[in-house]
Structure 1
Amino acid sequence: MATTTTTTALPKRADMPAEHLWKLEDLYPSQDAWNKEYEEVKGLLGEAAAFQGKLTDAAALKSCFELEDKISLLTERLYVYSNMRHHQDMADQTYQALSDKAKKLSVDVGEALSFVTPEILSLSEEQLKGFIADPTLAPYKHTLEEMLRQKPHILSKAEEALLAQVGSISQAPGNIFGMINNADMKFPTIKNDKGEDVELTHGRYIQFLESRNREVRANAFKAMYATYAKQKNTLAATLAANVTKNQFYAKARKYPSALEASLYGDNIPKDVYTNLIATIHESLPLLQRYLELRKKLLGVDELHMYDLFTPLVEEVDMEISYEGAKAKVLDSLKPLGDDYLKNLQAGFEEGWIDVYENEGKRSGAYSWGAYGTHPYVLLNHKDNLNSMFTLTHEMGHALHSHYSDTNLSYRDAQYTIFLAEVASTLNEALLMDYMLKKTTDPKEKMYLLTYYADQFRTTVFRQTMFAEFEMIIHDKSEAGESLTPQALSEIYYELNKKYHGFDGMIVDQDIEMEWARIPHFYTSFYVYKYATGFSAATSFAKQILDEGQPAVDRYLGFLKSGGSDFSINILKKAGVDMSSPAPIRDAMEVFRGLVEEMEQYVK
């Protein structure tokens, strides 16, 4: 196998072996084909304008929806192709220009179709219910039901125009935070592992917390929060302004609270949010048991907050080639059955994946694509454990898209962010289970156990604590209480004591300022999705490994459901009811198993 990961100079795109490149020709065989479709979309925009003011009967509505779908799909294809070409080599000016052209077209399409939803929502409830019941509009039933559900929260044309004008002002808290946090905040110099003076930055902070030298960790921790404490009045005012903004929109759109306004878009009941927090509270003794184990493994008398990120065991050098990674991923996903494996194999062999780094290639990894052709996956593969987990993660997304696209119409195939991480995380859970069962090296096993346990700590417990903090500060503000720096710090410190506090743990006072550096608090009530997605995937994996075929059938049904129903219903039909504690308890049972197995190694 030709390898591209060991040379110091990155190869140019033109020198990459064809078998390691994605086949974008499956989207468009030539630039001429792209140009032709681009011109077709430009022509269709004029046809869309003809429907304005005429969406009053089922025939006109059906024709308009069909045209909207055609324009949207073609635009998506043009956009995805041009951007993926651009990502192959960001220095290639041809595809930079093509990407810009597609982005401008997307804006034009958005403007041309912007009348559709408001016009339908201006109809009476009786007319909308009539459309929902009309058999000629059956392919659009879910769309119309969703519009009917949203109708009570849509305002008059004048009020909507006013809210639109407020839009740029509403972004101010997040923008101001971004400028303070990324541009104006200056951190002090501290000594690194080698005793050298190094400026503390956002990027270096986690590196310092992962240091083997405890003094380095402690100094970085104290320096970070002392710097934020100097800006606490401004940062508290900024976060409070964001909370006030959320309350304004909730009130304007007639929602009971900012939390319910945020959850309404995905039709997620408030119980899902509150139930996550309540169920995680049940398992806090288990988190604290893991922290006690962390204290023993680190060999310290008392655990501090700055000890939570340092690795518990030396990193194991697991060299896994791309071919080896594919083989292990295939083997680990055998519990999902022959059909899943057949489609996964097709993905590996039929040009879905762009494997290795080349000069100018976009960093990171993603799964993307357009309805009507297979999905695509961008990787920057290195021959290590992390890259193997990235491969199975992104192929989880890709197979989710493949199953939803091949079983549903364009409109119903688009799944929500609430569901997106379930399929990718499930693949990771099955790979981890496989690796833990296969490995015979105690050092390797301990490395895997701590790697997985820390995912539970950071993705489930930590994100739930963030979600609880958001809920508390919004509740207090809605009750008329002031969100002063002192109030925010007290709430945050008490939460840290609740989650992390046990006899051998020092919950350092400095952590009270951590609320001031979390960017997600400006995308309110979002972080809970990390915890629910991880829990749902872990629950699916547990059911598949425990029950076999019945659970596999339910899971494949989930993949094939795309966005054809509300997210919570799709999961419930597949056997994961996120409005109940069961999936979170399932995930906690897996975490308990990891902790118990680690305890055997420590004795």
Structure 2
Amino acid sequence: MKSLPKREQVKVEETWNLKTLFENDSAYQQALQEAEADSTTFAKHYQGTIKDTASAIKALDAYRSLQEKMTKIGSYAELSASVDLTDDEAQMRESQYGSIAAKIGSQTSFVMSELSELPEEVLQQASEQSEDYAVTFEKIIRKKPYQLHPEVEKTLAAFSSTFQAPYTLYNTTKMADINFPNFTVNGVDYPLSYVSFEGVWESEPDTAKRRAAFLTFSGKLREYQHTTAKTYDMHVQMEKTTADLRGYKSVIDYLLMDQDVDRSMYNRQIDVIMEELAPHMRKYAKLLQKIYGLEEMTFADLKMPIDPLYEPSITVEESKTYMNDALAVMGEDYLDMVNRAFSERWIDFAQNEGKSTGAFCASPYRGGSFILISWTGSMEDVFVLAHELGHAGHFYHANQEQNLFNYEASLYFIEAPSTMNEMLMANHLLKNSEDPKFKRWVLSSIVSRTYYHNFVTHLLEAAFQRKVYERVDAGGNVNATILNELKRGVLEEFWGDTVTLNEGAELTWMRQPHYYMGLYPYTYSAGLTVSTEMAQRVLKEGDPAVKDWLNVLRAGGSKNPAELANMAGIDITTDKPLRDTITYIGDLIEQIEKLTEEIEAQ
């Protein structure tokens, strides 16, 4: 395994094409200058004019036009920086954008202030009269009690880039400053990076290599724990101050407001999984331990594949075939979108120094989609790419039907279309073989990738995050020692005495950027709960279920999460879908156990 190349050394065809946003930096800079001028003109024309229904709708029309331009500009700045955090020019461009966006945000903050000052009956009337902005007006009514004086709102908007600073600092520390040393096993050196650890070594079948990689990886993280903890504390304290200023009872209530879900749905997702999924996952850990003949099962062993011999190495071109075969059930239009993602270079596959870890899909309004992934050639990459194409498919459909203010679904629901694609991929693989070893491998891929990632990794982040916010709400701060204790406590609660926590397991909180994105971690399991139920409907009903799902995608953010799920025939206001999903995971693990017995008896 070689060290990662510089960005300029990777093949162009492995990178995404940002020219669909702006041809070059010059065109980007011109658009940014025009947006600055437009915001000044907008403020001159509309500030102080929002007095009734008609003027409110007129102002929102002009505001929407400005925001559509800013979405495209911001995406270009952020995406070009994300692929190389060592690129000074790209980092400066992103910083410059943040400063100008903050200025524009401050200049235009009067829109929401003036709308919020309108009597509720006027806002209600505007909601009834304007189909385009009905949802927007309803959100303004909901947030009305928490809106501050216009001058305060203007000041807060001016500081928006400062409020983003902890997240930027976290990424800079993680991707630009941390250089992992090689690790050595039996006299052989192996290179280590964030990408290689999470994409290769964490699931390496060779126990000596896997554990040595974990030890070296955690050792280097530990050197940065205090800076990273201080960065995170800065972030949560700013959120607490904002929540207090606006009059929310807690940071959690403040962060849930934009998700349009109540506290009980948030707590249920964490509490039920922590209690009821844990026994199933402990059984799975013991099964892994038995298959590998380990004296003890450690935290560093949890991502081992059940049967590495069935782990194919998959090229980017081969992944396209997997996508076409698995997602064909979604129809021709959806498949056309998937193929365009490959042919039009929506996807950044390259592995290079300074590139953001993990994967994401950014979809600026009517500006296409941009998927970041670092391709290692594993089946995990296939599932991850299917996941990100699920996001792309969601925005592709929502963009066709919804305006800028309505196209993005609540964070609570945002992971449902992505995890739905993972389920379709798993179903496709299962249908194509009766070989017990292959079936066991597929089932274990579903458990160890789709469910482990979304129902365990991210859910344990959520349980940890809730403890952090409870501490902050009580007036406390956090540092590295406290964060390590909280994370270790959550891991011990979930895994019990089935799994030995290696030294460094507690540092897992350092690895995820989700903590800087509000209450994001728990939404992965929420989305997967919906998509598990939906995937079962598609298997049983075919086209009628697919049509329902495509209608859900088209609805975007025009409905709240419970309404969207209801369109798919799922009631997430009860605990039934969640408990059904946990039972389904338990059934998968039982099938793996039976297949293991069958294989061992041969």
Asked if the contact 2:402–2:556 (Cα under 8 Å) also holds between the matched residues in 1, the reply is yes
Q: Structure 2 residue aligned with 1:192, among 171, 180, 184? A: 184
Shift of 1:59: 2.5
Give the distance between the partners of 1:243 and 1:368, measured in 2 at CA. Answer: 25
Name which of structure 1's ranges 197-206 and 546-555 shifts more when overlaid on structure 2: 197-206
Question: The residue matched to 1:303 in structure 2 has which SS?
Answer: coil
3-state SS of paired residue (1:312): coil
Q: How many Å apart are 1:552 and its aligned residue?
A: 2.8
Aligned to 2:290: 296
Tell me the distance in 1 between the aligned counterparts of 2:559 and 2:285.
40
Offset of residue 428 of structure 1: 1.9
Query: Which residue matches 1:72?
Result: 67
Q: Structure 2: which amino acid aligns with 1:291?
A: A
Equivalent position of 1:274 in the other structure:
267
Code of the aligned partner of 1:413: Y
Whether 2:137 is the aligned partner of 1:144: answer yes
Query: How far apart in 2 are the matches of 1:349 and 1:182?
Result: 30
Q: CA RMSD in A?
A: 5.0
Distance 2:434 2:506 in 1: 42
Please name the residue that 2:5 is paired with.
Answer: none
Distance 1:143 1:78 in 2: 23
What is the rounded CA distance, in whole Å, between the counterparts of 1:427 and 1:368 in structure 2? 17
2:393 aligned to 385, 390, 399, which one?
Answer: 399
CA shift, 1:579, in A, is 3.7
Q: Tell me if structure 2 keeps the 8 A contact 1:539–1:584.
A: no
SS at match of 2:488: helix
CA deviation after TM superposition for structure 1 residue 261, in Å:
1.1
Alpha-carbon shift at residue 236 of structure 1 (Å)? 6.2
Map 1:71-470; keep pairs closer than 5 Å: 71-74=66-69, 76=71, 110=105, 113-133=108-128, 135=129, 137-160=130-153, 163=156, 191-196=183-188, 202=194, 206=198, 208-219=201-212, 221=214, 242-280=235-273, 281-314=275-308, 316=310, 318=312, 325-336=319-330, 340-345=331-336, 348=339, 353=345, 385=379, 388-389=382-383, 392-455=386-449, 456-470=451-465
Equivalent AA in structure 2 for residue 557 of structure 1:
N
Whole-angstrom distance in 2 between the partners of 1:80 and 1:600: 48
Question: 1:489·1:513 contact (CA, 8 Å) conserved in 2?
Answer: yes
What TM-score comes out, normalization by structure 2 length?
0.77
Within-5 A mapping of 1:517-528: 519-528=513-522
Q: Given that residues 351 and 374 in structure 2 are in contact (C-alpha distance below 8 angstroms), is that contact kept between their aligned partners in structure 1?
A: no
* CA separation of 1:306 and 1:545: change in aligned 2, threshold 3 A: same
**Residue type of the partner of 2:335?**
L
Q: Percent of pairs identical after alignment?
A: 23
After the TM superposition, which of the residue ranges 450-459 and 484-493 deviates more from structure 2?
484-493
Change (3 A) 1:309 1:152: same
Query: Contact (CA 8 Å) 2:102, 2:157: kept in 1 or not?
Result: no
Contact 2:314 2:378 in 1 (8 A): yes
| Residues 211-267 of structure 1, C-alpha deviations (whole Å, 9 max, x = no match) | 444345445545665677788777766655554443332222111111111111222
> What is the CA distance between 1:578 and its match in structure 2?
3.5
8 Å Cα contact 1:225-1:510 kept in structure 2: yes
Counterpart code for 1:525: L
Range moving further from structure 2, 512-521 or 470-479: 512-521
Counterparts in 2 of 1:334 and 1:250: CA distance versus 1, 3 Å: same
Question: Which of 558-567 and 383-392 deviates more?
Answer: 383-392
Does the CA-based 8 Å contact 1:222-1:510 persist in structure 2? Answer: yes
Tell me which residue corresponds to 2:577.
Answer: 583
Q: Once the two structures are superposed, what CA deviation does each residue of 1:317-367 show, in whole Å capped at 9, x if it has no partner? A: 64667676545434433444xxx3344236536965557979999979765
- The separation in 2 between residues aligned to 1:119 and 1:107, in whole angstroms, is 19
Question: What secondary structure, in the 3-state scheme, does the structure 2 residue paired with 1:192 have?
Answer: strand
Give ranges in structure 1 of 5+ residues lacking alignment.
1-8
Distance 2:265 2:272 in 1: 10
CA shift, 1:292, in A, is 1.1
Query: Which residue of 464, 470, 480 corresponds with 1:475?
Result: 470
One-letter code aligned to 2:61: E
SS, match of residue 247 in structure 2: coil
The answer on 1:501 being equivalent to 2:496 is yes
What is the TM-score with the length of structure 1 in the denominator?
Answer: 0.77
Structure 1 pair 245–379 and aligned structure 2 pair: CA distance change class (3 A): closer
